[in-house]
């Protein structure tokens, strides 16, 4: 089963980091969609089938919490797997997010930690032998 | 070093190591000390107390920072350098607040405002920072200043978490 | 650094303090290698870097991969494990040079740039470690204070 993933973060660099981790992780990846805030994220969800959303909390226009609330209120997206990737590590916030059925990864994250949480949330194991498990490096190191 | 200063330094080191993949140093050499400002990020926040964090990166650091984050050799686009600095500020701010206010307190961080170039440690600030810290980064450095509104700084120093 | 394509071989390194022990293993080609690096950056001593590039993370790790490729390993199949990087003082606050931590940060940077994730690791703390790689299975046996575990 290929996973279609939506990455919602107001930082384009952070979105690229998350997507790079997804591609390196050996998870069976389908389409990857990007959004710069919660509203854009909802728009992408209304136009595409998505299996997993990785969502930041502090964003302009619409923050991640409001986006998750709306996702849960919409019958078409209510069961979407959501992982919050945020610098906000308040226990109160994490409790609130868990009640909304979201996983949590704290920034700064390691790619291995993000991979682990995605595997747990989706129940999809990484394919150990996946040729997508590595990316060509930009440098000549190895 | 005060408790607040220690926590600011630790949050910065953690972020530059894990997100920026830099090897931060606690002490600065002459080259690092004299490096010119390359960019500043301001991250305002609200919650049990409000304020903002200012991070100024000095020297030829931003290109390497963005490149490390993206896993590339070099990043020349100003947008990506600016975005990388914004995220560094965001993550440092998000990590310093629970360290000084306690892990159950809820804060809301507003989007980082980034200015490339400029003068070290200024931004748009009025008044004095509650605490400052410096971190050596390759041939440059990062200057950090945490501004807290009201009497929050005094209360936090009196009742460290 | 030692690399091998003999499935019965085990490669071992002792007394990993702040140093890192890094293994790569291709389970299909049954090729494995172990590198024991001491310092993060070769630029600190260019002469040493030339005579013994395996001392440094930035020069040693590429060689580890390239030597394994010569024996038939493929990057897409390689699994990487890391052990060591301990703090050299009982109290981390006293570890001024933080060599162990810096070694691991440098390794992370190199792996991220080259598109390789770590399969498993046991890094940090204050204890000395011994590790061995079984070339046939890829199992890494970690030994701390006489207690063995597989990572």
Any CB–CB contact under 8 A between C74 and chain A? no
* SS3 call for A122: helix
**Contact between B141 and B15 (Cβ < 8 Å):** no
Q: What is the pLDDT of residue C25?
A: 98
Q: What is the pLDDT of residue B75?
A: 93
Using DSSP bridges, classify how beta strands A52-55 and A81-86 pair: parallel, antiparallel or unpaired. Answer: parallel
The 8-class DSSP code of residue A124 comes to: P
Mean pLDDT computed over every residue of chain C: 95
Give A21-74 pLDDT, tens digit per residue. 999 998 899 999 999 999 999 999 999 999 999 999 999 999 999 999 999 999
C-alpha B108, offset from chain centre: 17
A76-85, B113-122, B144-153, C7-16, range with the lowest pLDDT: B113-122
Q: What is the pLDDT of residue A131?
A: 43
Which residue does chain B place closest to C109, by CA atoms?
Answer: B21
Exposure string of A32-44, with b = 16+ CB inside 10 Å and e = fewer, is bbbbbbbbbbbeb
Give C67-124 pLDDT, tens digit per residue. 999 999 999 999 999 999 999 877 777 777 899 999 999 999 999 999 999 999 999 9
Cα of B21 to nearest chain C Cα, Å: 6
Per-residue pLDDT in tens (0 to 9) along chain B, 161 residues: 788 999 999 999 999 999 999 999 999 999 999 999 999 999 999 999 999 999 999 999 999 999 999 999 999 999 999 999 999 999 999 999 999 999 999 999 999 999 998 765 554 555 789 999 999 999 999 999 999 998 888 778 777 76
Query: B79–A93: do the CB atoms touch at under 8 Å?
Result: no
Any CB–CB contact under 8 A between B73 and chain C? yes
Contacts of A99 (CB under 8 A, 6+ apart): none
Q: What is the pLDDT of residue C135?
A: 98
Domain ranges of chain C: 2-150
Nearest by CB to residue A58, choosing from B72, B73, B108, is B108
CATH 3.40.1350.10 is right for the domain spanning C2-150: no
- Residue A129 binned pLDDT confidence (cut-offs 50, 70, 90): very low
Measured CA to CA, the distance from residue C5 to residue C74 in angstroms comes to: 13
Query: B94–A20: do the CB atoms touch at under 8 Å?
Result: no
- What kind of fold does domain A3-111 have according to CATH? Rossmann fold (3.40.50)
B142-156, C10-24, C50-64, range with the lowest pLDDT: B142-156
Query: A92–B104: do the CB atoms touch at under 8 Å?
Result: yes
Please report residues of A whose CB lies closer than 8 A to that of B80: 12-13
**Contact between B26 and B136 (Cβ < 8 Å):** yes
Measured CA to CA, the distance from residue C108 to residue C90 in angstroms comes to: 24
Give me the DSSP letters along B14-58. Answer: HHHHHTT----BSS--HHHHHPPEEEEEEEEEESSS-EEEEEEEE
For chain A, list the contacting chains (3+ Cβ pairs, <8 Å).
B, C
What angle, 0 to 180 degrees and rounded to 10, lies between the N-to-C axes of helices A111-122 and A12-24? 70
C-alpha B105, offset from chain centre: 21
Residue C68 annotated in active site: no
C-alpha distances in angstroms, B126 versus A48, A101, B71, B145?
47, 42, 37, 12
Please report residues of C whose CB lies closer than 8 A to that of B70: none
C-alpha C115, offset from chain centre: 17
C-alpha C53, offset from chain centre: 14
CA atoms within 13 A on the CB side of C22: 35
**Contact between C99 and C56 (Cβ < 8 Å):** no
Query: A131–C66: do the CB atoms touch at under 8 Å?
Result: no
Any alpha helices (H) in chain A, and if so which ranges? 12-24, 38-47, 64-73, 91-99, 111-122
Return the number of other C-beta atoms located less than 10 Å from residue C144's C-beta: 17
Query: C61–A141: do the CB atoms touch at under 8 Å?
Result: yes
Measured CA to CA, the distance from residue B145 to residue B148 in angstroms comes to: 10
- Residue A130 binned pLDDT confidence (cut-offs 50, 70, 90): very low
Any CB–CB contact under 8 A between A115 and chain C? yes
Res. A137: pLDDT tops 70: no
Res. A132: pLDDT tops 90: no
Q: What is the pLDDT of residue A5?
A: 98
What domains can you pick out in chain B, each with its CATH number? 3-158 (3.40.1550.10)
Please report residues of B whose CB lies closer than 8 A to that of C108: 21
Q: Which of C11, C16, C19, C37 is catalytic?
A: C19
Please report, for chain C, how many H helices and E strands are present, in that order: 3, 9
Cis peptide before A108 (omega within 30 of 0): yes
Measured CA to CA, the distance from residue C110 to residue A71 in angstroms comes to: 38
Nearest by CB to residue C114, choosing from A110, A128, A137, is A137
Please report residues of A whose CB lies closer than 8 A to that of B109: 58, 87-88
């Amino acid at each position: 089963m290929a996973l279609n993933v939506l990455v919602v973060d107001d930082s384009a660099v952070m979105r690229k980091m998350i997507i790079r981790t997804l591609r390196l992780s050996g998870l069976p990846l389908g389409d990857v969609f990007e959004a710069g805030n919660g509203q854009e994220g909802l728009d992408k969800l209304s136009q595409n089938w998505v299996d997993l959303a990785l969502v930041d909390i502090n964003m302009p226009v619409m923050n991640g919490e409001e986006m998750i609330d709306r996702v849960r209120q919409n019958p078409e997206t209510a069961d979407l797997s959501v992982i919050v990737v945020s610098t906000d590590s308040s226990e109160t916030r994490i409790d609130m997010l868990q009640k909304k059925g979201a996983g949590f990864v704290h920034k700064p994250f390691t790619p291995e930690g993000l991979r682990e949480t995605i595997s747990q949330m989706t129940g999809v194991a990484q394919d150990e032998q996946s040729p997508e498990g590595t990316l060509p490096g930009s440098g000549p190191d190895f | 070093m005060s408790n607040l200063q220690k926590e600011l330094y630790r949050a910065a080191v953690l972020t530059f190591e894990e997100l920026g993949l830099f090897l931060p140093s606690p002490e600065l050499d002459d080259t690092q000390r004299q490096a010119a400002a390359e960019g500043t990020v301001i991250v305002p926040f609200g919650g049990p107390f409000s304020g903002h964090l200012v991070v100024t990166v000095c020297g030829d650091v931003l290109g390497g920072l963005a490149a490390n984050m993206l896993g590339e050799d070099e990043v020349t686009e100003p947008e990506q350098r600016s975005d990388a600095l914004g995220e560094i500020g965001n993550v440092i701010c998000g990590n310093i607040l629970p360290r000084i206010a306690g892990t159950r307190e809820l804060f809301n961080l507003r989007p980082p405002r980034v200015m490339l170039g400029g003068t070290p440690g200024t931004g748009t600030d009025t008044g004095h920072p509650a605490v400052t810290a410096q971190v050596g980064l390759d041939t440059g450095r990062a200057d950090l200043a945490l501004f807290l509104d009201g009497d929050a700084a005094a209360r936090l120093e009196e009742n460290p978490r | 650094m030692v690399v091998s394509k003999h499935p019965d071989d085990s490669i071992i390194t002792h007394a990993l303090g702040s140093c890192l022990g890094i293994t790569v293993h291709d389970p299909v080609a049954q090729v494995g290698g172990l590198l024991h690096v001491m310092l993060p950056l070769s630029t600190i001593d260019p002469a040493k870097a030339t005579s013994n590039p395996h001392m440094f993370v930035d020069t040693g790790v590429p060689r580890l991969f390239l030597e394994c490729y010569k024996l038939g390993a493929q990057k897409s199949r390689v699994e990487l494990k890391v052990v060591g990087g301990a703090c050299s003082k009982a109290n981390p606050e006293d570890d001024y040079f933080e060599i162990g931590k810096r070694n691991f940060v440098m390794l992370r940077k190199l792996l991220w740039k080259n598109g390789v994730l770590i399969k498993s690791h046991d890094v940090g703390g204050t204890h000395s470690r011994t590790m061995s790689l079984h070339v046939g299975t890829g199992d890494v046996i970690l030994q701390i204070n006489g207690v063995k575990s597989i990572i």
